[in-house]
Copies of this chain bind each other. A is one copy, B any other.
């Protein structure tokens, strides 16, 4: 064990195990998680060469091998709880995506939610036993987030009682679905349903794409891998071109909407029924943001504790990097953010479960709020974590660029969350739409409830007055007071956006679009709203924590998170007249004091995330801090080192010398 990292752990003011239990949701959950992780880590079947040393094809092969083993072992162990399956799978694939993710995460759940009982009888057991290997094909070459314009068609032919699926254009080719390229033999294809000469919009169809015996593509099916990407080397994201492929009528998902044998279309009872899964996935991505950022923080902070560099006093020994204020100011606000997002993720998950219960009782009243919150927080947390991972990587000096640090992998595995399941800018605008609508309702005298109830506040609270005419409202040492300031700041920015929209509507001629011309203000309002929600939920979480030492450590983080946001958005707080100029320099001083407090607990705070070395897979983030020896050992295994003299020397350099 590296002595520096031992000292760090010795200096911590709280017991990380207590905090780990809070993060897991209880000591029993921590125990069970570790038990499942141990099943994988101790399993010789899952030992393998470092993926960084393999080609993409080899990585796909290795991932599929592990996935197949995983299916078998999950059955043998009797693990069937979705949360535990997720835990086992994450451990097997070290948090990476794998070729059967969409089979597990989209194909099976969509069958369960949207197949009729008769269809379930036919399709579920073969899918559960991996005879049917499925994916979910929605996105096309030409359309992603804006799914209403998807071009694939499913035209009902009553003469044969079949649907004819067709990709009429190049842009209509299905593009991106994971596992589609080489792995799947079925796909749930989203297509525009035509029957009796009418289009009824998007519906899902179970389309066999490869022969279940030979795995060869079926007639009319053009399918393949879409080529290498930024990350996701293990996954065969695919394309699918359907050339008048016929499937039986029974292959349309018919739990809700139906097409009768004669072609009569029966509408689903509610169009909100397909809403849920999308909201669920977005809510879950908030938790992914927390996980990715907490991994990056673990690596950067542990390495900063053992890395010595430069000097603070001439002639003295080189200090730990973690002693530099500039390094603390990079990493500790991100550490605070990782905790904040973890708690927001827990909240989203609880809110989802509560509202799902309501929905099952037929109560859809809270769904719009959940939808707006999930959209905005998905965008807010993924953008923040995405940039934060790169800050962590670059805080590790040159070695952060090495694949052995795992930081490049964390980034490329995470960054796609900014785009998939709803492009972030589009998400922010969806949340803005809800905020502006709520603002107008409040103006019209409606009493708002839920998280937007702050828009009920009397408007004069948030109007701009000269700073000199009244005392500042915010106590920068008090988290509750800062939550209030974030709220008022958000309220002002929602008002600015609403007024911009109103102004544009008054000015608007035929071809202009007021909404488009207010995008800058609308997005800013959404961001401020989300930022407020995060600060508020972090503060709320603190009230649940009884362990004094943990409470104290997390309180410093929460205050740092709030003050750092004020400093980074100081213009908004000044414009809202919530802070005075002298207070802003006090914010900097207060943050410096907090950095020094957090310094003491930094290693313990990342230890509490409890990432096993095998999961983190980072030479820089090792629990024992023995970084440099491990890096040298890792480098020696680089494929280019298999021979002392690489063949290219004799092929190109040697012959060249005689010609120059």
Residue ranges of A at the interface with B (Cβ–Cβ < 8 Å): 52-53, 55-57, 60-61, 64-65, 67-68, 71-72, 75, 128-131, 133, 139, 141-146, 149, 170-171, 173, 175-176, 181-183, 214-217, 224-231, 236, 239, 308-313, 318, 323-327, 329-330, 386-387, 390, 393-394, 397-398, 400-404, 407-408, 411-412, 415-416, 418-420, 423-426, 429, 464, 466-468, 496, 513, 515-521, 523, 567, 569-575, 581, 584-585, 588, 591-592, 628-629, 631-632, 634-641, 644-657, 659-660
Contacts and interface: CB of A to CB of B under 8 A. Distances in A.
Contact of A146 (B309, B588, B647, B651): B309
A635 B55 contact: no
A638 B588 contact: no
Contact of A516 (B57, B325, B468, B575): B325
Nearest to A645: B215
Given A60-B646, A141-B628, A652 B325 contact: no
A386 B391 CA distance: 11
Given A55-B56, A394-B419, 16 more contacts: A56-B639, A64-B653, A141-B631, A142-B308, A144-B398, A146-B318, A170-B629, A170-B632, A182-B648, A216-B645, A224-B641, A226-B635, A229-B408, A236-B646, A464-B581, A496-B585
Nearest to A503: B589
B466 A648 contact: no
A460 B491 CA distance: 36
A574 to B, nearest CB: 5
A72 B313 CA distance: 52
Contacts of A56: 55, 639-640
A130 to B, nearest CB: 6
A403 B228 contact: yes
Contacts of A144: 309, 397-398
Given A230-B401, A324-B519, A424 B394 contact: yes
Which secondary structure dominates chain A's binding surface?
A: helix
Given A228-B403, A402-B226, A142 B520 contact: no
B230 A403 contact: yes
A651 B65 contact: yes
A227 B309 contact: no
A519 B640 contact: no
B464 A466 contact: no
Contacts of A640: 56-57, 60, 181-182, 224-225, 236
A324 B145 CA distance: 15
B225 A425 contact: no
Contacts of A516: 312, 323-325
B403 A649 contact: no
Nearest to A395: B425
Contacts of A329: 519-520
Nearest to A128: B660
A429 B657 CA distance: 45
Nearest to A520: B329
A318 B149 CA distance: 9
Contacts of A656: 68, 71-72, 130
A415 B415 CA distance: 15
Contacts of A318: 146, 149
Contact of A227 (B574, B634, B648): B634
A38 to B, nearest CB: 24
Given A520-B326, A592-B517, A638 B55 contact: no
A16 B12 CA distance: 61
18 contacts: A55-B55, A64-B648, A68-B652, A141-B628, A149-B318, A175-B398, A215-B653, A224-B636, A224-B638, A226-B638, A236-B646, A324-B519, A326-B520, A326-B523, A330-B425, A400-B419, A517-B592, A570-B571
Given A57-B639, A170-B629, A423 B401 contact: no
Nearest to A313: B513
A635 B239 contact: yes
A397 B425 contact: no
A637 B466 contact: no
A138 to B, nearest CB: 11
Contacts of A646: 60-61, 182, 236
A398 B517 contact: no
